[in-house]
Structures are given as structure tokens and as C-alpha cells.
Structure 1
Amino acid sequence: MSQFEDSWHRKFYYLRLSVTDVCNFRCTYCLPNGYRPHGGNNKSFLNLDEIRRVTRAFALAGTEKVRLTGGEPSLRRDFVDIIAAVRENPTIRQLAMTTNGYRMARDVAAWREAGLTAINVSIDSLDARQFHAITGQDKFHQVMAGIDAAIEVGFEKVKVNTVLMRDINHHSLSTFLDWIRHRPLQLRFIELMETGDGRDIFQRHHVSGQVIRNQLTDMGWQLQTRGRSDGPAQVFSHPDYVGEIGLIMPYDTHFCANCNRLRVSSAGKLHLCLFGEDGVPLRDLLASDEQLPELQTRIAASLGQKKQTHFLHQGQTGITQNLSYIGG
């Protein structure tokens, strides 16, 4: 199978695979009222064999990186088995996960042993009380211990995701910089994105990542070269810091020009964009290995529908009610 490519000649080396939309945190910008099952009480998420088949289809079409997302992926009891299943594909060189971190201290060594190569953990404040207020969980010290555990078991550069929010953390750059001065972390500031359920909080708290970028540039931080299977972050380094800073700015004019990733939801739908319309069903082609060619053909054909941009600038958020729905 040839490389997956869309009508705009963008090639896709990166798959974000949601394994559940359940999350036990109640972050103000994502699930302020806690988890609610999407479309009723159906919790029939992709099973292990379906995950094995869909990742194989992508791997055979040139995908080099898979990120396991949620919800909170570690809530799956078979999460270690999921990691091992994806790692059966020798062409998948990077297998990452995004987590809220509450199980990292306990389980990160097992994840590493199963084949996980990279980890992202979400921390929106370095103040324990503010962390509690944002997430609805008093687990700041537990998550920080998990980061230390990840470093101890051999993850070279743990990535920390921080949603940038006006009047909550956008004035805290110096505090975050002090934290990464001697730690092998990549701290990534993510612009708050508007979703169907989050219009009010977006209007109150959105601030452009360009504010942080200007501050970094003034302090001598240098933009690094982006690899073909890297995520969308603009990564900056500084000779006086062990850690790095990443900026994810979806409202930047050229954000979509280098899109290299596709998404599959925990319900088995292919999503061409985080903020696109209803996804392309794949689950009917995940029942047996013999369906693999047809599965790849459907994925390849659907890429003709992928739009050039996400249209967030026009306030079009598509079907995405919250970021846990298809894994952010």
C-alpha cells in the first residue's frame, strides 16, 4: 500500500488512536461536568484485535508514529496489552501516549517494558491548589511523582502539556521556565481551542501562543527543525536549559499546512481533522485480517474529503463537543 496522501499532497506519518473517551478528571476547558457517555451508554470501545488491525493498516501505509489517547487511556484494563499490540508493527518507530498522569507513578515502568517510547502528561498549573481547581482532582503531587518515575525508568524527554489560559496561567512563564531549567522535559503550551461545549470559556480565557513566542524569542530561545512525524508543536531550546518549550498554536495562519496526522476514535471512526464533521466508519472492516486491503482502500479514498484547513478562525468547531471525544 502506498503512503496515505490527501488532495493537498500532505502525507500522513502519524496516527492518533483513542482507546476510550472516558476520563476521571473534570478539567474546566474539556469536561467541566465530568465524563458523560457520547451517544448514550454505549461503552463498546475498540477491542484489542481491532486495535491491532487498524494500526497494522496504517503501519503498512507508512505511518511511523502512533499516539494512544483518550479520555484517559490508562483507564483501559488491557492498556499494557494495547501497547504491546501496536508494537507488533516494526515500522511503528514511535509509540506515545497522552495521559492525565494519575497512574504514572504506579504503572509507567510496565508501559515502558511493553514498548511505549514517549509520554505526554497534562499539567496546567504548578500550583497544587490551582491544579485542583482546574482538574477537579487533588492529585498534583501524585502526577508530579509520576513524571519523576517516567524519567527514572528511561523516558528521555517527558512532554508536559499545558493549556494556555488568560488570567489562569499565561503570566506563569517564569515559574514554568524555572521548573524545566534542570529537568529533561518538553513543556508545551497549547492554545485554548473552541469546542461546541466550550464557547464561553474560550471567550473568557483564550490567549494567543504568539504572546509566549515573543517572550521566548526576546530571551534567546531558538526554534528547532521539525521532523516529518513530529506533532504540530513549534519547539524551542536554550543553551541554559535542559528542558525545551513547545508551542501549539492552532489559530496560526499556517497551522494546517504541514498536517501529518489522522485520528481514529475509540468507536472506530476515522476523523480527518480534530474539528471536522462526523467521521468515516472503519469498524465494519476490523472484524478479520482478510479485510485489511479494503480497510486501507477506504482510508485512502476518504482522504480526498480532507479540507485544507480546520476553519477555527471562522468559529466552526465541527462535531467536537469536547476534546475527550476523539482524543484531542
Structure 2
Amino acid sequence: MHNETLHSDDTGSVQSLFTPPRVDTSRHAAGTLLDKYGRKITYIRLSITDRCDFRCFYCMSEDMTFLPRSEVLSLEECLQIVRIFADLGVYKVRITGGEPLVRKDATWLLRQINQVPGIRELVLTTNGSQLERFAPELQDAGVKRINVSLDTLDPLRFHEITRTGDIAKVLRGIDAALAAGISRVKLNTVMMRGVNDHEFPNLVRYAMERGIDISFIEEMPLGDIGHGRSGTYFSTDEALALLGQHFALEASTESSGGPARYWRIPGSDTRVGFISPHSHNFCDTCNRVRITAKGELYPCLGHNDAVQLLPLLRANPDTQQPITDAIMSAMGIKPKAHDFTAQMEAPQVVRFMSMTGG
């Protein structure tokens, strides 16, 4: 049995926070991390800030209250978490936010992570607002892949979705990343009926012109703003049918190590991916966990159960074993699957996406 306490998060929602027991680590072979269903965890998504310079309406409220600095992982603590996970066999790290590049010295952390033994893939997810400034530093720090959120090419619609963003700045940032030599740049587009679905072909053409990939993501009902999203939900199958009117899409077995399933366009280097948490559940192959900027380890995006790593890090500055034990115990609360479809009208996960990490 685990010890369970209840905690109210910043949205007023009650979450289960687990105090991990002492664990028998013998079921984990050296350098591996398994959940109770035998899935091997090789990928972490680490949020280094809950702050963002955009206010995308599907991600956060317009008037956000952000965490005080004392409740946020320091960059050194972020690095320690990566080192511990690397010792457990994790080799892919995605740095997220909020917007990670608004965190002071974020490129220092990226450079350090790239030097951690065992880490083979270092990826950044960004809204693109800071790319024009930081692209050369990111390439120099060892970032090989960047995902840029881009839901529209229309300046007015972009400002409506982000509430504050300037699309020209983001587009310059994408070009700056390519000019800096980032080997793989990908666009992430959240599909929203009546908002941007008519733009999907043009977004694919934009990606093709630059030889970059694009992934279309089914909208997820997270946060107080998640209520009633069935009206804007647009499925992968619908998107494939729509894009099939414009492109000869061919199914591919390629993988980037995440949940996207890819299609190829003959004669183009662009891959078109789909992330389908509703219509094509990918939980049976889930290889990842998320750590929030607050140091909460969420084994599943679609559930509220979490383990707090930050207090353990600060209480044990000279040993990593308690944190290792906590991570292993957290695998016991990783569920077999999520069910976002059942949550479309009444989300059970009411923390904002910006709080968990994009």
C-alpha cells in the first residue's frame, strides 16, 4: 500500500499525491525503469517553468497565477532529475514549459543535459517566440530537435488563439532555427473545428516548403477551460480525409520515439504526423512520464496521481537513492490507459496544460 495525501492545486482541484514507500528494486534490472504493465520508460518530458509569454486559450486562462520561484525546480535540480532518470535507462529528454526559453539560463541547462551520460536525444518544445534570439545557442548546446507550436498561419487568428502572440516573430524564429542548423524542426498543430481546420492543407504546404515535419494533435480536455470541448474536437480520421483531398499520403512505420504516427508525401522530405489521444489510443506503447516545474512526477497526463520529487531533492542533497526509490514507486501508479474521450464534457484533469508541461 502507498501512503496517500490529498492536495489542492492552483486550480482548486484535489489531487492525489503519493508518499512513496521503501521499495524492492530487484524487479528493475540495472539501468531500466518498468511500470507494472511491463512498459519500459525511456523518455521524460521535463517542464522548467510554468510561465509563458503567450496565453493560448486551449492551454491556460487569460489571467494566470504563476508559481513563486521558491516552489519551482532550480536548474540544478532539473539537471539532477535528468541524471537520476538517465541512470534508470532514460535516454530521451524533452524540455518544455510554459515557454522554456523565458526561463533565465535555459540554454545552460540544455548544454548540461546534453553532456549527461546515457542521454541520446535532447528535444525542446517551444512556442517559437524566442527562437530568433536563441537558435544559435540551442544548436551549440546540442539541441538536435525542436518542436514549434503553430496552429495557424493567419496573423489575426494567431493573435486570437495566443491572445498576445505575434506570428511574424514565430515565423522568423522557425527560419532562424533552420539557418542555425537544427537538424530536425517540427510543427505541432492542435486541431480545432471551426477555428483552424480549414488551414490544415496550407500548414502542410508551409512545412513542405521548408522540408520540416508537422504533427496534428487532437485537442485534450485539460484545465478549467477543458469543459465543452466536444464542439471543437476534430479527429485524426477527419484530418486524414481532409488532407487526402490535397496530398497523396502514404502510411509510414517511422517513429520519433513519441506518440505520433506518421505519413509520408511522395517527393517530399516532410512527414505528417498525428497524435490521437482520443481516436487512436497509444497507451499500450507509452514510454514516457512528465515532471512539472514544481517537481511533480506525473506517470500519466490523463490522470491526477503524482509523486512529489522536489521535497525529496531538497531533503537529500547528498544522496539520490530516495529520489530513485520514489521514481520507481511512481511506476506503480502509472495507469494502463487514459480516457480523454469520456472527459470531453466534464474533464477530471483540471490542471492547465501549461502546469503539466506541453
Q: TM-score, normalised by structure 1?
A: 0.93
Gaps of 5+ in 1: none
Q: Secondary structure at the match of 1:295?
A: helix
Matched, 1:84 2:111: yes
Does the C-alpha gap of structure 1 residues 311 and 59 become closer, same or farther in structure 2, counting only changes over 3 Å? same
Query: What is the deviation of 1:217?
Result: 5.4
Does the C-alpha gap of structure 1 residues 220 and 32 become closer, same or farther in structure 2, counting only changes over 3 Å? same
Query: What is the deviation of 1:254?
Result: 3.2
Write the distance in 2 (CA, Å) between the matches of 1:180 and 1:80: 26
1:48-197 equivalence runs, <5 A = 48-197=75-224
Question: Of 296, 303, 310, which residue of structure 1 is paired with 2:338?
Answer: 310
Q: Is the 8 A contact 2:159 2:166 kept in 1?
A: yes
Aligned residues: 325
Write the distance in 2 (CA, Å) between the matches of 1:48 and 1:173: 37
**Which residue of the partner structure matches residue 23 of structure 1?**
52
Q: Is the 8 A contact 1:63 1:92 kept in 2?
A: yes
**Which residue of the partner structure matches residue 276 of structure 1?**
303
Q: Is the 8 A contact 1:101 1:146 kept in 2?
A: yes
Write the distance in 1 (CA, Å) between the matches of 2:333 and 2:102: 33
Does the C-alpha gap of structure 1 residues 310 and 133 become closer, same or farther in structure 2, counting only changes over 3 Å? same
Write the distance in 1 (CA, Å) between the matches of 2:201 and 2:309: 45
The residue type paired with residue 221 of structure 1 is: L
Does the C-alpha gap of structure 1 residues 138 and 18 become closer, same or farther in structure 2, counting only changes over 3 Å? closer
The residue type paired with residue 301 of structure 1 is: S
Write the distance in 2 (CA, Å) between the matches of 1:168 and 1:27: 13
**Which residue of the partner structure matches residue 298 of structure 1?**
326
Write the distance in 2 (CA, Å) between the matches of 1:283 and 1:199: 28
Q: TM-score, normalised by structure 2?
A: 0.85
The residue type paired with residue 98 of structure 1 is: T
Q: Is the 8 A contact 2:223 2:353 kept in 1?
A: no
Matched, 1:5 2:5: no
Q: Is the 8 A contact 1:31 1:322 kept in 2?
A: yes
Q: Is the 8 A contact 2:248 2:266 kept in 1?
A: no
Question: Of 270, 283, 288, which residue of structure 2 is paired with 1:256?
Answer: 283
Q: Is the 8 A contact 2:227 2:347 kept in 1?
A: no
1:85-121, Cα deviation, whole Å (9 max, x unpaired) = 2122131111111111111001111111122121111
Gaps of 5+ in 2: 1-29
Matched, 1:208 2:235: yes
The residue type paired with residue 357 of structure 2 is: G
Moved more, 286-295 or 296-305: 286-295
Moved more, 60-69 or 269-278: 269-278
